[in-house]
Chains A and B, each alone.
Chain A
Amino acid sequence: MNTIAIVLVVALVLFTIALSIFSRRFTRTTADFYLAGRKVGSFSNASAISGDYLSAASFLGVAAAVYASGLDGVWYAAGFAGGFMVVVLFIASALRRFGEYTVADFAFGRFGSSRIRLVTVVATLLVSLFYMAPQMYGAGTTWKILVGTGFFPAGADGLFLGVDPIYLSGVTVVTLIMMFYVAMGGMKGTTLNQIFQFWWLWFAMFMVVVFAFGNGFDYAAELKQVSQDKLVATKTMTVGELTTVDATSGKAPIDNARATMSPEAFAKVEEAVAAGDQAAKVDVLLAQKNKLHEMRDMLFNEPGHRYNAFDQFSMVLALVLGTAGLPHILNRYYTNPSGAAARRSTFWVLIFIGTFYILSPIAGLAGRTRVFDAYMNGTAPSNAAIVDGFLVKSDAIMPTLAQILGGQWLMGIVAAGAFAAMFSTVGGLLIAAASAVGHDVYEKYINPDASEKQRVAVGKVSVVFFAILGWVLGWAIPFFGLQNAYPALIAMMVTWAFAVGASAFVPMLLTGIWWKGTTERGAIAGMVVGLIASIGIIFMNILQQLRIPAFAADQGTIGFLASLTFPVLFTFPLALGTIVLVSKLDGKVPENIDEIWMRIHGTASERHERDLGLDKVGTLFGGAKK
């Protein structure tokens, strides 16, 4: 147990709760609870959006992807940042001009039917849950590394409810904290917390890089150093898998390990093989293949470790289009005081997360050399599993590097940063899910005459409900063994959320904003097709990875679809094409389309607000500045 790290995490939690209690007095109306009273300025909103956006996958996962894969891992950083260009160019100001509270409100206002509002609510909930699942899994695994102890009793099999009790303790603690602080503080409390949490995790990443440069890090020289030899990576395999000979090459993975590992390290592998237990697991170091240019050696500074030619394009599209399909990010644009402020917010977001994403690959590269050197010097942290100088779990690179460079204090700052990343993202997701149920369903259909007090109360109950649902997802992932199917599960699940958002929402938003001929039936058809196709392919991919026989084959249509890691290259044009086709066939644009068009693209509202001074940035706790 790392005492300093725990003290810093507890301090972060207490500060978070204090901010929520402080902001509670300012959460009286529905607009306060869901939109922070539309008084969030560009800088504050940009900080909060950045906090909302940078999840555990960004804080721990990007550096880990670079550490493990080199250039293909760097693409996560560039793609995550690039997504905001789509938002600023095509969506931000129109969404804000249209007003309202949520993406479902936009769909209802643009197409004028309750049917599309409900479809959008369902899509919002599905995307939010897809995004929440990896955050909860990250919470449990980080808790296990950091705290290493729990409060659930272990059964005879060492498990509680079929999963690791320490892991489940972490999931439970994070659920309770999130439930409390979001329900208590609403959007204002969440916004304040996200601003603080973003700057904390930015500071943590900055400090790791500063310590790396202080330790003699030279970006160009170390990139050259790690790119001189073939890229190697660790893998946990059973003895059976390790010794199975591939029919095509006539070689087994153990041959690769023998050629790659040091004699001392390989001796332990041989011992395990000699013991004869085919199910026994061993950690090996393997030279990696180049999936893009098969005739070339795989080097750290070249593309091809993760993605073949198809996936190079599909992954980029998934990342840049997916950001515009995340409801918890889009909802944030309604908190801007004007369309111009929405654009300025996005510019600042690009500055904030851009600098963060420039730092992350530096940390990943520095980890590659520093962990190896520490291992060779015998100074590597004892709690990090290492094979021949390389981490067995690349997701542990940030805390391990921090410990090597700055000892317990830097490790503590990074650990608190990891929890800050999870809190800020889950906070945004809970608000988005709660507004989908509380605002889009309860206020519109169940009790339209509800008082402000009742509406806020329903929002809070929704937060509690979705926090519990998040806990169930956190429990279900290890219960069903999903982490065994995907070595880098957190990053993969986040990409799934991007894929679903990009397929379900982005085509509807783009056509709804920019094509007057989009009809309600077209929009619904496109959303449903995008939603079903993306979720269907993702589940087929999961079933293929779990080796379910019907999906295990790599050939044929099902085998091909199931093998798609990033379905967006198919599902986005499919959904977009469906909207265009059905709208053309249908031809029934809303009767009041001219009024709707004037609301989306008109400027009278902003001119009116400018006259009243409402376009000025206010404070989160009062009216506009005088």
Chain B
Amino acid sequence: MSEGVKVKTGASGKYLQFGDHIDTLETVDTVFHEQRKLSFTYGAVFFGVTLAIPALSVWVPAWYATPIWGGFTANYFVVSLAYFVFLWAMAWTYSKQADKLDERLMHIAEEIEQKIMAEEGGAS
């Protein structure tokens, strides 16, 4: 267990405390479900596109055998250039969305935290 972390049990159930901040199962479940939705949605797009490339290479002659620009076939163009742009765009938008999600969830967590702190204060 990391330094400075305390496991406590209060009126609202078990929670972890880091300094003045706490995580409850409720806040964590909110974070987890939102994060899972975001990661797995992006993951599905990533694997869909990544595995579509070899699939097209196996089954679609227009993809792998028809030049579109000089010697570039669509297949060569995507694997050597466009795929990297796809990765950058995905990583950028994902990071931004994950940061926003973090911020939103931190606010939600802080609200729940204040509520629990108030309850704990009232209880003592």
Contacts and interface: CB of A to CB of B under 8 A. Distances in A.
Contacts of A78: 79-80, 83-84
Given A82-B87, A603-B31, A89 B39 contact: yes
Q: Interface majority SS on B: helix, strand, loop or mixed? A: helix
Contacts of A255: none
Nearest to B55: A313
Nearest to B24: A598
A225 interface: yes
A351 B87 CA distance: 9
B16 A599 contact: yes
Interface in B55-105: 55, 57-58, 64-65, 67, 69-73, 75-76, 79-81, 83-84, 87-88, 90-92, 94-95, 98-99, 102, 105
B91 A312 contact: no
Interface of B: 1-2, 4-5, 7, 14-25, 27-28, 31-32, 35-36, 39, 42-43, 46, 50-51, 53-55, 57-58, 64-65, 67, 69-73, 75-76, 79-81, 83-84, 87-88, 90-92, 94-95, 98-99, 102, 105-106, 109-110, 113
Contact of A347 (B55, B72, B95, B113): B95
A354 B43 CA distance: 19
A140 B1 CA distance: 44
B84 A354 contact: yes
21 contacts: A82-B46, A82-B87, A89-B39, A89-B94, A90-B43, A221-B71, A223-B71, A224-B67, A224-B70, A225-B71, A301-B76, A312-B57, A316-B53, A340-B99, A340-B102, A347-B95, A361-B80, A601-B35, A605-B5, A608-B4, A612-B19
A620 to B, nearest CB: 22
Contacts of B54: 303, 312-313, 316
A350 B53 CA distance: 19
A94 to B, nearest CB: 8
B65 A302 contact: yes
Given A84-B91, A89-B39, 13 more contacts: A78-B83, A81-B83, A89-B42, A220-B72, A302-B64, A343-B98, A358-B81, A592-B7, A595-B7, A599-B16, A602-B31, A603-B109, A605-B23
B71 A222 contact: yes
B90 to A, nearest CB: 6
Interface residues of A, number: 71
Contact of B32 (A296, A320, A601): A601
B66 to A, nearest CB: 10
B39 A344 contact: no
Given A71-B79, A602-B27, A85 B72 contact: no
Nearest to A85: B46
Contacts of A90: 39, 43
Contacts of B27: 602-603
A292 interface: yes
A89 B28 CA distance: 18
A227 interface: yes
Contacts of B105: 603
A218 to B, nearest CB: 8
Given A74-B80, A358-B84, A301 B72 contact: yes
A249 B51 CA distance: 34
Contact of A88 (B25, B64, B94): B94
A99 to B, nearest CB: 5
Contacts of A302: 64-65, 73, 75
